[in-house]
């Protein structure tokens, strides 16, 4: 009976959570699939290299592991190590998750550097604009967060999770002490 409970209970909880909105998704909803680099960010030769590594099963498995470490396990330090070990911090999704992890650890200076690295790799990376906008709010920079929101609107419209998340955070009163 105990063996049955160890198998069934986690499965039921998992199915229940899968059908319910994630508790942390109001402000953070990163995908466990890295996106391909934007068309304007690099030369054709390096784009092929980036695309092939993103499609590599080993890369994807390691990226997904790091993603789960962040969003499921809240192991930000471990995820940073995992993501850096990929050797692909020139991929916006990788740099963005490293920035997010540093932000969750409270290292805002390193977080900012990684968000900027992600945007350098892909200036159209909507999730980085969202997370960096949340970073701006945590720093008390509401005007900059509003700018990030306008970038998201220009890039993907106002009916995206990234836009709604940052817009909801901007609706909160200043100095609420919320960390996103």
pLDDT at residue 151 tops 60:
yes
Q: Residue 136 belongs to what domain range? A: 124-174
Distance of CA 164 to the CA centre of its chain: 15
pLDDT at 11: 37
pLDDT digits (tens, 9 = 90+) for 77-125: 999 999 999 999 899 999 999 999 999 999 999 999 999 999 999 999 9
Same domain, 49 and 116: yes
Please check whether residues 136 and 91 belong to one and the same domain: no
Cα 120 from chain centroid?
16
Q: Which two tokens stand for residue 27?
A: 């402000």
32 versus 53: which is more confidently predicted?
53
Instruction: For residue 102, tell me if it sits in a domain.
Output: yes
Q: Look at residue 54 in the predicted model and tell me its pLDDT.
A: 72
Total structural domains within the chain: 2
Contact 170, 137 (CB under 8 A): yes
Q: Are residues 71 and 138 in the same domain?
A: no
Residue 93, in any domain of the structure = yes
CA distances from 82 to 51, 70, 129, 146 (A): 20, 11, 23, 32
HSE at residue 11, side-chain half, CA atoms within 13 A, is: 6
Pairwise pLDDT comparison (74 vs 9), residue with the higher score: 74
Would 90 be classed as within a structural domain?
yes
> In angstroms, rounded to a whole number, what is the distance separating the alpha carbons of residues 101 and 110?
10
């Amino acid at each position: 009976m105990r063996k049955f409970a160890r198998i069934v209970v986690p499965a039921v909880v998992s199915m229940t959570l899968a059908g319910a909105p994630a508790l942390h998704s109001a402000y953070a909803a990163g995908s466990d699939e890295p996106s391909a680099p934007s068309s304007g960010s690099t030369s054709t030769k390096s784009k092929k290299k980036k695309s092939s590594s993103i499609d590599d099963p080993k890369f994807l498995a390691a990226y997904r592991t790091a993603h789960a470490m962040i969003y499921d396990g809240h192991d930000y330090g471990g995820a940073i190590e995992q993501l850096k070990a990929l050797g692909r911090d020139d991929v916006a999704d990788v740099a963005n998750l490293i920035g997010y992890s540093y932000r969750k650890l409270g290292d805002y200076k390193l977080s900012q550097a990684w968000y900027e690295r992600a945007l350098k790799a892909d200036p159209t990376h909507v999730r980085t604009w969202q997370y960096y906008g949340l970073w701006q709010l945590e720093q008390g920079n509401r005007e900059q967060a509003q700018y990030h929101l306008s970038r998201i609107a220009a890039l993907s419209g106002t009916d995206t999770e990234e836009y709604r998340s940052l817009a909801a955070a901007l609706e909160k009163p200043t100095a609420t002490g919320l960390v996103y």
